[in-house]
């Protein structure tokens, strides 16, 4: 199975009323945990790489490890740039073998977001690479950029047709109340499903992307706190809301924080239970298994893409 772009994957997801998991990767154990979980559930997969991940692990290492995972699992896998900050980063990822990129112009004025996204689309489509764009702005922390609640803004449905038509993008990330990181809501979680509905009415058949979609699974927050961590007040998107979004026009659901929690929770537990261990293979095996089980849970209980590879 070759690396694929997101075109066919999203078409099937849209028609089938399910979503594909887009999981962030930063190292070998995370890549192996995700792909082993997806293999066990026979699920299509998006592995996404942020600018921070490229800086941490280097493009070439991540690419070679993802190629190995594809060879090992024989699954359809999209290799995607998460939150591409500029044209040059998108170009470098396309030239370096990615099959999909996100250009995140969500902080720009409408016309500038269109111009930048259009430029990336032209370069990408000539090379059979799909492009995700963003309209509206999520709150939370991405890499070293922190967007405050006051600076965030919901997507305006009346803008989406013009944006999609003029940019030619293949999918659109929208802001309906989710945010990046482990602290998403003060008080009751609320998502603007009315905005999602209005956007999908205006763009029938068009794949929508949900960022900031970790549920911040309480059992892992508890595990971290039980073994010496300190994450009071962590809160994520309830899974029933994600299931609802996946049954609607949302074809891609981004999950990073829940993977970080699983990895860290299992590490803390391992060290608490085995204070004498110092072989990385021992504790990283537990962390990798934590990632695998988290991904299986997402695929089966949230995304509904099990058996769809
Ligand atoms: O949305 C951001 C993702 O969680 C990636 O985070 O930029 O810290 O790698 P990062
Ligand atoms: P979370 O922080 O909710 O996992 O969101 C990840 C994300 O949107 C990556 O682009
Ligand atoms: Zn994101």
Global confidence as pTM: 0.97
Order of strands, edge to edge, in the sheet holding 139-142?
145-147, 139-142, 179-180
For residue 112, report the distance from its CA to the centre of ligand 2, in Å.
24
Residues framing ligand 1 (Cβ under 6 A): 24, 50, 52-53, 82-83, 142-143, 180, 256
Mean pLDDT of 273-288: 98
Q: How far apart are CA 209 and CA 215, in angstroms?
A: 16
Catalytic residue among 82, 104, 256, 258: 82
Strand partners, 49: 81
Atom of ligand 1 nearest to the CA of 180: 1
pLDDT digit string, tens, across residues 129-178: 999 999 998 877 776 667 777 777 999 999 999 999 999 999 999 999 99
- The number of C-alpha atoms within 13 Å of 22 and in the hemisphere containing its C-beta is 31
pLDDT digit string, tens, across residues 96-124: 999 999 999 999 999 999 999 999 999 99
Mean pLDDT of 244-260: 98
Q: CB of 139 closer than 6 A to ligand 2?
A: no
Q: How far apart are CA 201 and CA 199, in angstroms?
A: 5
Q: Whose CA is nearest to atom 9 of ligand 2?
A: 254
Q: Per the structure block, which two tokens stand in for 60?
A: 């070439």
pLDDT digit string, tens, across residues 49-64: 999 999 999 999 999 9
């Amino acid at each position: 199975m070759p690396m694929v772009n997101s075109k066919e994957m999203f078409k099937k997801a849209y028609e089938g009323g399910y979503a594909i998991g887009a999981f962030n990767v930063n190292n070998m154990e995370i890549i192996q945990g995700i792909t082993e979980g997806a293999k066990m559930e026979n699920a299509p997969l998006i592995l996404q790489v942020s600018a921070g991940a490229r800086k941490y692990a280097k493009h070439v290492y991540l690419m070679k490890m993802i190629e190995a995972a594809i060879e090992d699992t024989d699954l359809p896998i999209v290799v995607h740039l998460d939150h591409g900050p500029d044209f040059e980063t998108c170009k470098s990822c396309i030239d370096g073998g990615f099959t999909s990129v996100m250009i995140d112009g969500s902080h720009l004025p409408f016309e500038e977001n269109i111009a930048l996204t259009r430029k990336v689309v032209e370069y990408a489509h000539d090379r059979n690479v799909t492009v995700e764009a963003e309209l509206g702005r999520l709150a939370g922390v991405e890499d070293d950029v922190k967007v405050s609640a006051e600076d965030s803004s919901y997507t305006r449905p009346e803008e989406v047709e013009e944006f999609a038509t003029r940019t030619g993008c293949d999918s659109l990330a929208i802001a309906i109340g989710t945010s990046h990181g482990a602290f998403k809501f003060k008080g009751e979680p609320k998502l603007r499903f009315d905005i999602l509905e209005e956007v999908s009415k205006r763009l029938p058949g068009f794949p929508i992307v949900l960022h900031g979609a970790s549920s911040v699974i309480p059992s892992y927050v508890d595990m971290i706190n039980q073994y010496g961590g300190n994450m009071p007040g962590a809160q994520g998107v309830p899974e029933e809301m994600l299931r609802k979004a996946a049954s609607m026009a949302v074809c891609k659901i981004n999950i990073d924080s829940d993977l970080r929690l699983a990895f860290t929770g299992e590490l803390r537990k391992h060290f608490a239970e085995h204070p004498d261990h110092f072989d990385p293979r021992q504790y990283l095996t537990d962390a990798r298994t934590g990632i695998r089980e988290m991904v299986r849970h997402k695929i089966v209980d949230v995304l509904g893409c099990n058996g769809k590879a």
